[in-house]
Amino acid sequence: MKKIILFASGSGTNVEAIVKYFAKEIQVSIELLVCNNLKAKVVQKAKAFKINTLIVNRETFYDSHETLTVISKIKPDLIVLAGFLWKIPGYLTEVYTNKIINIHPALLPKFGGKGMYGINIHKKVIEQNEIQSGITIHYVNKNYDEGEVIFQKAINIKTDETAEELSLRILKLEHKFFPLTIHKLLKIE
């Protein structure tokens, strides 16, 4: 049995896409959602999918190893950041080297780093007159958005496309390719 732990902070559309993708996969178990916002929609989605949730605050997440203790008991094959906005602390990236992945709604290395998430990225891409954008799935290390790239998918930006329109097209890419990439990384037949 391959075990996944999901980290998310917001609405949970990627969590939902991942859960639905693996719903009929008997070799995969989504063991836990780690969230830093009790009021996030993803918490209710996890409850509906019968996934246990660990709510973390900054103090427990950064200044103690409580999160590591919980995760270590599960022994995950993969930790998936599906819209988690906090930087992952070194104690987790060291223990789970090449076992933590993130999805970023741009073609890294462009438009990465602190503060580059959600609509902020898409506005910047449009402002910079980029001709393409897309998604990047990458390993997580101690720096924001600098881990080794696993997968990228590019799309052309349409003339006069708004950041909101681009955001919706990028989200469709995320929902399609994130579960597929997770599947591949888990080496499931």
Q: Look up 65 and say whether it is catalytic.
A: no
Which regions of the chain does DSSP assign to beta strands (E)? 2-8, 28-35, 53-55, 78-81, 100-104, 132-139, 149-156
Residues 6+ apart with CB under 8 A from 122: 105, 133, 163, 164, 166, 167, 170
From residue 141, give the alpha-carbon distance in Å to each of 5, 20, 137: 17, 28, 13
Residue closest to 78 by CA, chosen among 101, 61, 56: 101
Of 65, 104, 175, 183, the catalytic one is 104
Name the helix (H) or strand (E) containing 115.
Answer: none
Q: Which residues are catalytic?
A: 104
